[in-house]
Amino acid sequence: MKRILLLFVAVLTITATLDAQSKKFVLFEHFTQASCGPCADQNPDFEAVKAQNLSNVHHLSYHTSWPGTDPMNAINPAPVQARVDYYGVDGVPSIHVGKLWNGQPGSVSTALINSLSSDSAPVELDVVQLNDGEGNFTVDVNINESGELTGSDLRLRVALVEKTIEYTSAPGSNGEREFPNVFREMLTADEGLSYTSTGAGTSQTLDFAFTANAAYEEEELYIIAWLQEEPSGTIINSGSSIDPNWQVVNGSENTTSGGDGPHTFDLKYASKDNTETLLVSVSTDAPDDWSHNLSFNGTVITLEEGIELLVNATEIDFTLDVNPGASGAIANYTVTIESTEFPEDEPATVNYSVISNITDLVVDHGGVATQFNGMYVDGLRAANNTNLGVLPLTSLRDAWDNGFLTTVNNIYDNVSWTFPGLMDDEVALLSDFLDNGGNLFINGQDVGWDTWDAAGNGTTATKAFYTDYLSGNYIGDGSGADNFLTFNDEDVFTDINSSIIVDVHGGNIYPDQINPIDPAVSIYYYGNNVNKSGAIRVEENGHKVVFLGVDMGMIADEEVRLAIISTSHDWFYGLLSSAEYDKKIKQALGQNFPNPAHEMTTIPFTSLETNADIFVVDINGKTVHQGKVIQGDTQYEFSLDNLTSGNYYYYLSTQDGQSIPKKIQVIK
């Protein structure tokens, strides 16, 4: 991660307008409980993501009455139950952004926050809270309509929140002692206060008052207010009494862009004060051959100058320009603005992403799946692929619809142990991708169970995708006894070692049993039982699919994980052939010597039963050498004069197919 701090001094006087824009905050309504084990596992993951996006989110936690003891619910259970009923919450942990999105806390990512906050809002909620020092509070909610408000039934909800509650010992059974942004009570009725728009450019102020319960820490109390449409549940915007006096608003239609570029993103600083000193910085994980610059008010800031802005204006326009290089990547950029006048204010951030020249894409389902993304990346790099990137499932549809993924050849769908495992929108996109010649790697220990079991989330569309595209016949949910995988010795994956399957989900080890539907074949079995297939592959209708019934993280042997991904990659690119022919001639093709090689190399053969062509290809599959081999030949020599340093592959080809490629390392 490269972080560039800008340290140039400028005095600006600007009289621009907000162009009917207000910053859009994402409000997370979080259902949790002090005796919920999964809550203790996932809440820290959510807090880590939230910490990177504090200027873009509001958050409050409702503590439910189940599954065990929780004193935070006991103080005021009725309004919590009202929100449980409103969203139909039937388990914790659960987190909701209105009725637009819901999932587990571990599923929340910066990319999700970006997608939910990428548009501006037609209204700003400015909340002012006053305390007389004796437990009596007054609250003003100023609703400033910067644009046109639509919706047939708008409701204002105002909640009292305690920023942090900390216990010396865990109050429940899950071990948690510190609880952020705990909901205490509604200052409006549970169903909200009916709100009527007065039109763009107008404002209304609504007043509230309350006396703090003796159980509350008064210094920790603050207010969150939000405007919500009924019955869709859409949250139009939210505000809090601890928001800073300044904001940074994304001014671009999208926070993600794709293609060769250049790419331009606009953002705006807006303050209620005219004078303030700001520190501005940009951080990125882009490859070294990519470039970018930041400008304000049309002036490009060079890295040698940097920027520290002494602002004498209420608004400043910034522009971030990104120019991708030849390296393929999904590059992330964060523009951070900090106030030196108000150091207690959290830095404001705006996040952007650029997708360029990606050939192999890892799709992250979020939650527990995220921790396994690196395994896919490592496997692809082991296959010498550098044009790769990781994209959250929540961003996949937008990237696809906007044409940012046109260079992608292969998708690696990291479903892992997430639910739903497959969704209608996702399988529609993947079907389109496969129909157009793309290839798919997909894995997860409950993809089959979730699709086919009565307690799962299967739909007509996901079941059809499972059988028609994955070519799988779901047999059963498996058990902890299915803890060893053995690769099919008649398949292209035959050279991969066996591996133990380990429990990575706290006692939930249920590797799916999947039987192949013709023309699919099995990749590996559980134990040595050839009747218990755990993974399949299929090639038909111009595309290839590899489908594993375990999470990547459940495969104990790192080398096996790398081999599964790299072998799938090579098979997708045609560097590996059909299983039947591989078995027939794989022993005929020996390892070249010397290896590494410098000027010449020799490739040995054993019992070659037919005439063949020999091909040498680079890591992208481009043929760099071709020769003839006669039945009975024992070796083949060729010069390396025309090859540069790097890794290459060689294989035999006849009218019946081709052998498994072997690697040559050339050193010049």
What CATH number corresponds to the domain at position 140?
A: 2.60.40.10
Residues 484, 467 contacting (CB under 8 angstroms):
no
Q: Give me the mean pLDDT over the 523-537 stretch.
A: 90
Residues 181 and 211 in one domain: yes
Stronger pLDDT, 150 or 439, i.e. the higher one: 439
- CA dihedral sign of residues 384, 389, 390, 394: negative
Residue carrying structure tokens 């320009």:
321
Domain C-terminal end among 300, 334, 354: 354
pLDDT band at 419 (very low <50, low <70, confident <90, very high): confident
The total of other beta-carbon atoms located within 10 Å of residue 632's CB is 11
The whole-angstrom separation of Cα 497 and Cα 486 is 8
Residues 532, 597: one domain? no
Residue 622 pLDDT level (bands cut at 50, 70, 90): confident
More confident residue, 317 or 72: 72
- 649 and 537, same domain (yes or no): no
CB neighbour list of residue 655: distance below 8 Å, 6 or more residues apart: none
Residue 462 lies in a domain: yes
Residues 442 and 507 in one domain: yes
Question: What pLDDT was estimated at residue 545?
Answer: 96
Domain boundary among 326, 354, 382: 354
179-188 burial code (b ≥16 CB/10 A, e <16): bbbbbbbbbb
Which of 225, 246, 267 is the C-terminal boundary of a domain? 246
* Top mean-pLDDT range of 2-16, 465-479, 637-651: 465-479
In angstroms, rounded to a whole number, what is the distance separating the alpha carbons of residues 144 and 327? 45
Domain-located, residue 145: yes
Distances (CA, A) of 577 to 354, 440, 544, 565: 35, 17, 12, 16
Q: Give yes or no: residues 148 and 9 share one domain.
A: no
Q: 343 lies in which domain range?
A: 2-19+251-354
One-letter amino acid identity for 287? P
- On the question of pLDDT at 305 being above 60, the answer is no
Q: Is residue 51 part of a domain?
A: yes
Residue 658: band (very low, low, confident or very high) from pLDDT cuts 50, 70, 90? low
pLDDT of amino acid 14: 27
**How many angstroms separate the CA atoms of 546 and 537, rounded?**
4
Hey, what are 461's tokens? Answer: 């569309």
Structural domain includes residue 579? no
Q: How far apart are CA 31 and CA 80, in angstroms?
A: 9
pLDDT score recorded for residue 18: 37
Which pLDDT score is estimated for 448?
A: 97
Residues 559 and 429 placed together within one structural domain of the fold: yes
Asked if residue 169 and residue 38 are part of one domain, the reply reads yes
Domains: count for the chain: 4
Split at pLDDT 50, 70, 90, the class of 21 is low
pLDDT at 4: 37
The CATH number of the domain where 443 resides is what? 3.40.50.880
Task: Give the tokens for residue 645.
Answer: 């340093």
262, two tokens = 């250049």
- Pairing outcome for strands 499-500 and 484-487: antiparallel
159 inside domain: yes
Residues 241 and 282 reside in one and the same domain: no
The pLDDT of residue 589 is 72
Residue 302, pLDDT score: 64
Predicted TM-score (pTM) of this structure: 0.74
Average pLDDT for residues 22-32, to the nearest whole number?
A: 95
**Contact yes or no for 504/455 (Cβ under 8 A):** no
Q: What is the mean pLDDT of residues 495-512?
A: 87
Specify the pLDDT at position 304.
53
More confident residue, 40 or 610: 40
H-only helix segments in 460-617? 460-468, 558-572, 579-585
pLDDT at residue 582 is higher than 50: no
pLDDT at residue 123 in the model = 95
Whole-number average pLDDT of the chain: 88
Minimum mean pLDDT range among 475-484, 636-645, 658-667: 658-667
Give the mean pLDDT of 93-114.
88
* Nearest C-alpha neighbor of 536 from the set 524, 554, 527, 552: 524
Q: Which tokens is 113 given? A: 């926050």
Residue 226 has pLDDT above 80, yes or no: yes
Tell me the average pLDDT across 391-417. 94
Adjacent-strand bridge partners of 536? 522, 547
Tell me: pLDDT of 467 over 80: yes
Report the C-alpha gap between 321 and 317 in whole angstroms. 13
* CATH number of the domain that residue 621 is part of: 2.60.40.3080
526 has which bridge partners?
485
Q: How confident is the model at residue 620 (pLDDT cuts 50, 70, 90)?
A: low
Give yes or no for residue 584 having a pLDDT over 50: no
Are 498 and 539 members of one domain? yes
Confidence of residue 577 (pLDDT cuts 50, 70, 90): low
**Domain contains 85:** yes
Calculate what percentage of the chain has a pLDDT beyond 70: 92
Same domain as 422, residue 544: yes
Q: Distance (Å, rounded) from C-alpha 583 to C-alpha 637?
A: 24
Domain identity same for 343 and 392: no
- Are 97 and 186 within one domain? yes
| Structural domain contains residue 265 | yes
Contact 382, 562 (CB under 8 A): yes
Is residue 209 scored above 50 in pLDDT?
yes
Say how far apart CA 665 and CA 591 lie, in whole Å: 11
373 located within any domain: yes
Mean pLDDT of 15-37: 79
> CA 312, CA 15: separation in Å to the nearest integer?
10
